[in-house]
């Protein structure tokens, strides 16, 4: 009968959590800037769409403007809230 012995190698759970925490915090600044850039691009696209609807005389121009403006504000608010919530 042959008995084989296996050893499990692992790292401390706390060390892994701290390492993941540091990595996420290091990427957060770049992610926030990316969200601001996406918000700016969406704002420009939204402004063009609203201008086209306004020139065409559509009745729902106000709703479309509010939707585009709201999406841009949402991206900025989410980035700011996450930044203040996590203390990054």
58: Cβ contacts below 8 Å, ≥ 6 apart: 64
Residue 77 lies in a domain: yes
Range of the domain at 45: 28-86
In degrees and rounded to multiples of 5, residue 41 shows phi and psi of: -65, -45
Number of domains in the chain: 1
Residue 18 lies in a domain: no
Residue 15 lies in a domain: no
pLDDT of residue 87: 73
- Mean pLDDT of the region 62-88: 83
**Sequence-ordered alpha helix ranges (H) in 1-88:** 13-56, 61-86
pLDDT in tens, 38-50: 888 888 988 898 8
pLDDT in tens, 4-59: 555 556 567 788 888 888 888 888 888 888 888 888 888 898 889 889 988 988 88
Residue 76 lies in a domain: yes
Q: Evaluate if pTM is beyond 0.85.
A: no
Region for 10 from its dihedrals, namely left if φ exceeds 0, alpha if ψ lies in -120 to 50, beta otherwise:
beta
């Amino acid at each position: 009968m042959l008995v084989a012995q296996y050893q499990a190698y692992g790292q401390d759970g706390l060390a892994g959590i701290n390492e993941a925490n540091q990595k996420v915090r290091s990427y957060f600044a770049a992610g926030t800037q990316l969200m601001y850039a996406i918000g700016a691009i969406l704002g420009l696209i939204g402004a063009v769409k609203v201008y086209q609807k306004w020139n065409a005389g559509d009745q729902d121009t106000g709703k479309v403007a509010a939707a585009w403006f709201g999406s841009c504000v949402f991206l900025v608010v989410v980035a700011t809230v996450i930044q203040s919530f996590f203390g990054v």
